[in-house]
Amino acid sequence: MISKSINLVALQLKTTNKFEKNLKRLVKHIKDTTKKSFILAPELYLTGYSYDRLEEAVEFTKIAKKKLLKLSKNKTISLTLTTKKNNQYFNTLHIFHNNKIVHTQSKNKLFVMNDERKYFTKGNEEDIKIIEIDGLKIASIICFELRYIELWKKLQGADIILVPSMWGKARKDNFETLTKALAVANQCFVLATNSANENMAKSSAIISPFGDVVMNDTKKMISSNVNLREIKKMRRYLNIGI
Could you list the residue range(s) of the whole structural domain that residue 39 is in? 5-237
- Give the residue-averaged pLDDT of 131-157: 97
CB 137 within 8 A of CB 165: no
pLDDT at res. 112: 87
Residue 1 has pLDDT above 80, yes or no: no
pLDDT tens string 146-169: 999 999 999 999 999 999 999 999
Is residue 67 in a domain?
yes
Task: Assess if residue 179 is contained within a domain.
Answer: yes
**pLDDT of 151:** 97
Supply the CATH number for residue 23's domain: 3.60.110.10
What are the beta bridge partners of residue 78?
Answer: 40, 95
Fill in the amino acid letter for 88. Answer: Q
Under 8 Å between Cβ of 147 and 168: no
User: Does residue 155 form part of some domain?
Assistant: yes
In a domain, 200, yes or no: yes
Calculate what percentage of the chain has a pLDDT beyond 70: 99
Contact 74, 87 (CB under 8 A): no
Number of structural domains, the chain? 1
Asked if residue 242 is part of any domain, the answer here is no
User: Residue by residue, what is the 3-state secondary structure of the chain?
Assistant: CCCCEEEEEEECCCCCCCHHHHHHHHHHHHHCCCCCCEEECCCCCCCCCCHHHHHHHHHHHHHHHHHHHHHCCCCEEEEEEEEEECCEEEEEEEEEECCEEEEEEECCCCCCCCCHHHHCCCCCHHHCCCEEECCEEEEECCHHHHHCHHHHHHHCCCCEEEEEECCEHHHHHHHHHHHHHHHHHHCCEEEEEECCCCCECCCCEEECCCCCEEECCCCCEEEEEEECHHHHHHHHHCCCCC
d(CA 187, CA 158) in angstroms, rounded, equals: 9
pLDDT digits (tens, 9 = 90+) for 62-120: 999 999 999 999 999 999 999 999 999 999 999 999 999 999 999 999 998 899 999 99
Position 198 pLDDT exceeds 50: yes
Q: What angle do CA 142, 10, 126 make, to 5 degrees?
A: 25
Q: Is residue 197 part of a domain?
A: yes
Residue 2 banded pLDDT, cuts 50, 70, 90: low
Task: For residues 170-198, give the mean pLDDT.
Answer: 98
List, in sequence order, every residue forming a beta bridge with 221; answer none if it has no partner. 11
What would the pLDDT profile of 28-56 be if each residue is shown by its tens digit?
999 999 999 999 999 999 999 999 999 99
Cα 207 to Cα 64, 86, 108, 185: the distances in Å are 28, 38, 24, 12
The model carries a pTM of 0.97
